[in-house]
C-alpha cells in the first residue's frame, strides 16, 4: 500500500467518490478512505425482506439528470443505467386528484388546466420566461456560493412579477399565495419545494427561492437500485488510478505547520489503530478533502489549531446544526404495485417512481408548518411525505412472485423534547406509532394498501445515524440547509488552511446530483492547476436532454 498521495478524500459517500474520481481523472494521485466496509452509506440497495426485491434503504431519488457529473465521468461506461420517464415526480391527494410533473410543457399545461385554467396560464408564462435562463440557473447548484449567485436567487421572482425586495421578505407559502389561486396548484408547488433541497419553505427569503428553484428538478431511476451509482463511481475512480481503502477509520489529521503550504509540507491522515493497513499514516502532499459532516471533522482536526488558523471554520464546526432534515423511513413489502386512489384522474401516476404526498388543503399546509416549526413531531405524522415506488418504473425490482417494495420517507423534528429527548427514537411504542401513521396515510392514498402489505420495517433518525456515523442525528444532507446555514452560510469548500477542503456540509446539500462532490473537485483542481481538462466540459442537464430526446420523446 502506498502511503503518499497528492489528494486524500476522507469518506466514500457518493460525493466523496465523485470528488476523488474527478481529481484522479485530472491526473492526480488520489486515495479515498472509508471507515466502513462499504461505500455510499446513504445510497445502499438491499433485499430488506429476503424476497428478492432490491430496495434503496435511504437515498432513493436520483437527481443525476440535473448534473454535469453524468457526462463528465461517463458513468454509463461504468455500468450505470439510469431509467428516464416522462416526468420528474407525481403528487397524489386523497380526494382522487393527482398531478404528474411532466417535462413536456404541453403535457404540463394540459394537466394544470384540469385544476385551474388561470393558474395554468400563469405557469406557462413563467416557464416561457424562465427556460432561456435555465442553464445559467442550474449552474448555481454546481458552483461555490457567491454574492452574485445570491443576487440571482432573489431575482428569480421576476419570472412571476415579484421584485427582489419582495422575494427577500416572502416565505414560500406567501409567494405561492401571491401567484396561484387554486389550492391543488399551490400544494403541488409546495410539495416539490418542501422536500428541503434548497432551503426551508417557511423561512423568509430562502423559502421563496426554494419554491422557484424546485421548478428545475429532474430525476431518474437507477436500474437495479441506487447502489449501482456507487459501483459506477468506484469503477470510475479505479479506472483513473484512484485508490479506495475500506475499513480505514480516520483517527485524526495532523496539519502541516502554519506558514507552509500543503504542497510543501503535506498533511498527514492518521488511521485508527485497529484498521488492517500496515501504513497507518497517509501523507496528502497537496490536499485533504473532508467528505464527512462538520461535527465529524471537528473530532478529527485539532480544534485549537483550526481556531487559530481559520476562525470562521472553527465557528461553523462548533455551532453546526444537524436537526432539521432527519428522516424516518418506513419500508413496505407489497403484493403487487400500489393501487393509487387517484389513478382514474391520470393513470401515469402508476409509473412514477417518486410520488409526493402533499397536504390535504392550504389550511392544512399552514397548520402543519406551524406545528413542525414548534417541534410537535407527533402532531404532523404523515402530513407530507416522499414515497418511493421505483418498481413502477424499474420492473427489475419486482420479484417472480409479484412482490415489490414501497418506501415512505418523512423528515420530522427530531428533538422529541416532550418525550424525553432524541433517545426516544428507540422507544418502540412511540416509533411504532409513527410507522402505523405512515401505513394509515398510504391507505388513504391507495385504498386497500394494508391488505397488500406482506411485511414492513423502518429506520428512525437514530437508526440512520447508527448506519452512517457522519449523519449526525440521522441528518441526511450534511447539516441543516436553512437559516444561518443557507447558501453562503454553509461551510466553504476551500478553507483558509492551505490544502484543507470540504465536500460535505457545503453548498449544495449532499444529494445524488453529486453537486457538492463536483464543487469540491473544482476548487481543488483550480488550486492545483489541473482544472483545464478537455473532458471536464459537461453542462447541467446536458446528458439528460440527450437521453430524453433519444428515448423518452422517441418512444
Of the pLDDT bands very low, low, confident and very high (cuts 50, 70, 90), residue 262 is: very low
Q: Do 442 and 332 touch, CB atoms closer than 8 A?
A: yes
The whole-chain average pLDDT of the chain stands at 95
Q: Do 328 and 410 touch, CB atoms closer than 8 A?
A: yes
Per-residue model confidence (pLDDT) at position 245: 96
In the CATH hierarchy, which fold is given to the domain comprising 4-50+62-82+223-321+476-550? Answer: FAD/NAD(P)-binding domain (3.50.50)
Instruction: List pLDDT tens digits, range 484-504.
Output: 999 999 999 999 999 999 999
Question: How far apart are the C-alpha atoms of 223 and 226, rounded to whole Å?
Answer: 8
Cell matching residue 157:
421572482
Residue 388 has pLDDT above 70, yes or no: yes
Q: Do 87 and 348 touch, CB atoms closer than 8 A?
A: yes
Q: Do 394 and 223 touch, CB atoms closer than 8 A?
A: yes
Question: How far apart are the C-alpha atoms of 194 and 481, rounded to whole Å?
Answer: 12
- Give the residue extent of every domain in the chain: 4-50+62-82+223-321+476-550
Of the pLDDT bands very low, low, confident and very high (cuts 50, 70, 90), residue 233 is: very high
Instruction: List pLDDT tens digits, range 98-153.
Output: 999 999 999 999 999 999 999 999 999 999 999 999 989 999 999 999 999 999 99
Cell matching residue 18:
465523485
**Across 225-253, average pLDDT:** 97
Confidence (pTM): 0.96
Per-residue model confidence (pLDDT) at position 323: 92
Amino acid at each position: 500500500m502506498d502511503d503518499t498521495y497528492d489528494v486524500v478524500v476522507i469518506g466514500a459517500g457518493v460525493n466523496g467518490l465523485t470528488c476523488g474520481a474527478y481529481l484522479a481523472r485530472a491526473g492526480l494521485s488520489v486515495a479515498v478512505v472509508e471507515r466502513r466496509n462499504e461505500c455510499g452509506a446513504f445510497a445502499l440497495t438491499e433485499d430488506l425482506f429476503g424476497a428478492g426485491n432490491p430496495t434503496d434503504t435511504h437515498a432513493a431519488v436520483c437527481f443525476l439528470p440535473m448534473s454535469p457529473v453524468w457526462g463528465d465521468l461517463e458513468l454509463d461506461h461504468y455500468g450505470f443505467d439510469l431509467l428516464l420517464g416522462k416526468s420528474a415526480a407525481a403528487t397524489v391527494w386523497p380526494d382522487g386528484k393527482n398531478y404528474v410533473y411532466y417535462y413536456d410543457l404541453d403535457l404540463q399545461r394540459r394537466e394544470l388546466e384540469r385544476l385551474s385554467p388561470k393558474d395554468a396560464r400563469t405557469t406557462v408564462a413563467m416557464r416561457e420566461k424562465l427556460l432561456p435562463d435555465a442553464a445559467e440557473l442550474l449552474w448555481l447548484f454546481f458552483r461555490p456560493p457567491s454574492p452574485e449567485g445570491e443576487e440571482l436567487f432573489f431575482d428569480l421572482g421576476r419570472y412571476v412579477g415579484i421584485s427582489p425586495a419582495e422575494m427577500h421578505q416572502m416565505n414560500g407559502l406567501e409567494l405561492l399565495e401571491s401567484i396561484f389561486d387554486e389550492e391543488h396548484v399551490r400544494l403541488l408547488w409546495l410539495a416539490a419545494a418542501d422536500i428541503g433541497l434548497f432551503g426551508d419553505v417557511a423561512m423568509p427569503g430562502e423559502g421563496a427561492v426554494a419554491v422557484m428553484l424546485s421548478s428545475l428538478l429532474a430525476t431518474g431511476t437507477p436500474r437495479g437500485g441506487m447502489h449501482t451509482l456507487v459501483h459506477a463511481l468506484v469503477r470510475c475512480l479505479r479506472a483513473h488510478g484512484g485508490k479506495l481503502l475500506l475499513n480505514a477509520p480516520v483517527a485524526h489529521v495532523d496539519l502541516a505547520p502554519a506558514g507552509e503550504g500543503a504542497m510543501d509540507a503535506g498533511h498527514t491522515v492518521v488511521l485508527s489503530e485497529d484498521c488492517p493497513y500496515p501504513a497507518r499514516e497517509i501523507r496528502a502532499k497537496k490536499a485533504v478533502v473532508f467528505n464527512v459532516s462538520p461535527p465529524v471533522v471537528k473530532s478529527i482536526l485539532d480544534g485549537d489549531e483550526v481556531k487559530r488558523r481559520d476562525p470562521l471554520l472553527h465557528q461553523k464546526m462548533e455551532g453546526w446544526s444537524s436537526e432539521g432534515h432527519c428522516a424516518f423511513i418506513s419500508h413496505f413489502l407489497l403484493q403487487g404495485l400500489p393501487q393509487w386512489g387517484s389513478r382514474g384522474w391520470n393513470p401515469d401516476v402508476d409509473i412514477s417512481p417518486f410520488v409526493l404526498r402533499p397536504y390535504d388543503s392550504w389550511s392544512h399546509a399552514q397548520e402543519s408548518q406551524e406545528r413542525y416549526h414548534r417541534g410537535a413531531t407527533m402532531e404532523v405524522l404523515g402530513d407530507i411525505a416522499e414515497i418511493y415506488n421505483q418498481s413502477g418504473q424499474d420492473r427489475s425490482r419486482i420479484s417472480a412472485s409479484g412482490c415489490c417494495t414501497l418506501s415512505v420517507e418523512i423528515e420530522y423534528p427530531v428533538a422529541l423534547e416532550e418525550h424525553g429527548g432524541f433517545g426516544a427514537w428507540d422507544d418502540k411504542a412511540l416509533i411504532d406509532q409513527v410507522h402505523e401513521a405512515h401505513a394509515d396515510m398510504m391507505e388513504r392514498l391507495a385504498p386497500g394498501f394494508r391488505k397488500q402489505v406482506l411485511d414492513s420495517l423502518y429506520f428512525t433518525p437514530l437508526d440512520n445515524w447508527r448506519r452512517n456515523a457522519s449523519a449526525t442525528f440521522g441528518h441526511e444532507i450534511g447539516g441543516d440547509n436553512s437559516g444561518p446555514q443557507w447558501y453562503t452560510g454553509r461551510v466553504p469548500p476551500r478553507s483558509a488552511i492551505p490544502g484543507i477542503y470540504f465536500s460535505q456540509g457545503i453548498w449544495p446539500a449532499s444529494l445524488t446530483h453529486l453537486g457538492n462532490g463536483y464543487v469540491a473537485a473544482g476548487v481543488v483542481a483550480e488550486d492545483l492547476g489541473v482544472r483545464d481538462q478537455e473532458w471536464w466540459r459537461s453542462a447541467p442537464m446536458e446528458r439528460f436532454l440527450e437521453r430524453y430526446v433519444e428515448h423518452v420523446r422517441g418512444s
